[in-house]
């Protein structure tokens, strides 16, 4: 993602206020979805950034809705509902969450569960046997020989030189990719396909693989998707192409937006 941060100013300056579907789709991916996914735990949660964490969880919930992930979208929605309810009734847990968010970390539990499953036969499904294995691992976790067997030390495979090289390669790839998008502006196609169940798909040159509607910016999942034929999605003034283009894909003249 560091490679994207290097080339982003040049790409954004070149495309300007273009509403081209290909450009807006990959801008949303690289500038919205990827940072949210990378930052939500490592930076926001562990850094006690409560307000930004809640905002990012909401953004990720919209992604799950777009892609129809029927378990994740419910979990995130339930979490946000709890937060709003606690704020409404002024429950003291809100103050604890704001000041000590990182202590509500499930990683130790998930990590221990993974450790148990990784060192248990796949045929073992009985809860009692898994419980015995967990107790055994927990009891011996401070034994040096035991710990060496179950958690061998691994060195980080990449040096700073390797990371710098990969960053430059990523930046070059993105420049070349967006150059192809620039050449293919206005060539996106919307098709309804499916042998039994008909669904909407989009083809965005230079990609040859079709994309579901959920892969597009959020505005395309609304009842009033962004127009590719005119700038403003509120009025029919085609002579004025100046205003705001939102990350969802919609665009508005300043007076229409206000």
How many structural domains does the chain have?
2
pTM over 0.85: no
Q: Has residue 95 been placed in a domain?
A: yes
For residue 120, what pLDDT is reported?
62
In a domain? residue 228: yes
Mean local confidence (pLDDT), 134-139: 58
Under the banding of pLDDT at 50, 70 and 90, the label for residue 134 is: low
Per the prediction, the chain carries an average pLDDT of 86
Range list of β-strands (E), the chain: 189-193, 199-203, 211-212, 243-245, 251-253
User: 44 with 56: CB under 8 angstroms?
Assistant: yes
Is there a domain that residue 185 lies in?
no
- Of 80, 104, 110, 67, nearest in space to 211 by CA: 67
Instruction: Give domain status of residue 97, yes or no.
Output: yes
- Candidates 27, 17, 10; CA nearest to 257 is 17
Q: What is the pLDDT of residue 237?
A: 85
Domain boundaries, position 246: 217-258
Q: What is the pLDDT of residue 181?
A: 97
Q: Is residue 86 part of a domain?
A: yes
Average pLDDT of span 156-169: 90
The token pair at 150 is 């179950």
| pLDDT greater at residue 248 or residue 117 | 248
- Assigned domain for 75 exists: yes
**pLDDT tens figures, 188-234:** 999 999 888 899 999 999 999 999 999 999 999 999 999 998 999 99
Has residue 130 got a pLDDT over 80?
A: no
Residue 112 covered by a domain:
no
Q: How confident is the model over 12-30, as pLDDT tens digits? A: 999 999 999 999 999 999 9
Q: Write the CB contacts of 109 (distance below 8 Å, at least 6 apart in sequence).
A: none
Say which residues have a Cβ less than 8 Å from residue 193's Cβ, sequence separation at least 6.
199, 201, 210
In the predicted model, what is the mean pLDDT of residues 234-240?
85
- Residue 255 resides in a domain: yes
Q: Render pLDDT for 50-103 as a digit per residue (tens, 0 to 9).
A: 999 999 999 999 999 888 888 888 989 999 999 999 999 999 999 999 999 988
Distance between CA atoms of 70 and 243, rounded to whole angstroms?
36
Q: In a 3-state reduction of DSSP, which class is residue 189?
A: strand
CA distance 147 to 105: 23
- Size of the chain in residues: 258
């Amino acid at each position: 993602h560091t490679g994207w941060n290097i080339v982003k100013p040049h790409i954004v300056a070149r495309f300007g206020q273009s509403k081209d579907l290909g450009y807006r789709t990959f801008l949303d991916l690289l500038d919205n979805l990827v940072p949210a996914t990378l930052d939500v735990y490592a930076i926001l949660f562990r850094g006690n950034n409560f307000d930004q964490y809640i905002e990012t969880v909401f953004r990720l919930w919209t992604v799950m809705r777009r892609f129809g992930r029927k378990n994740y979208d419910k979990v995130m929605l339930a979490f946000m509902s709890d937060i709003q309810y606690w704020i409404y009734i002024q429950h003291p847990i809100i103050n604890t969450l704001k000041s000590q968010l990182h202590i509500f970390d499930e990683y130790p539990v998930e990590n221990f569960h993974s450790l148990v499953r990784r060192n248990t036969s796949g045929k073992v499904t009985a809860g009692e046997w898994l419980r015995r294995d967990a107790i055994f691992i927990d009891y011996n976790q401070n034994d040096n020989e035991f710990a060496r067997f179950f958690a061998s030390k691994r060195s980080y495979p990449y040096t700073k030189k390797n990371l710098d090289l990969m960053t430059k390669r990523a930046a070059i790839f993105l420049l070349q990719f967006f150059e192809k998008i620039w050449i293919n502006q206005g060539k996106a196609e919307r098709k309804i396909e499916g042998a039994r169940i008909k669904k909407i798909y989009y083809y965005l040159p230079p990609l040859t693989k079709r994309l579901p509607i959920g892969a597009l910016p959020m505005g395309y999942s609304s009842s009033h998707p962004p127009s590719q034929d005119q700038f403003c999605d509120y009025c029919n003034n085609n002579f004025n192409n100046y205003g705001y283009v939102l990350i969802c894909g919609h665009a508005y003249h300043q007076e229409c937006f206000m």
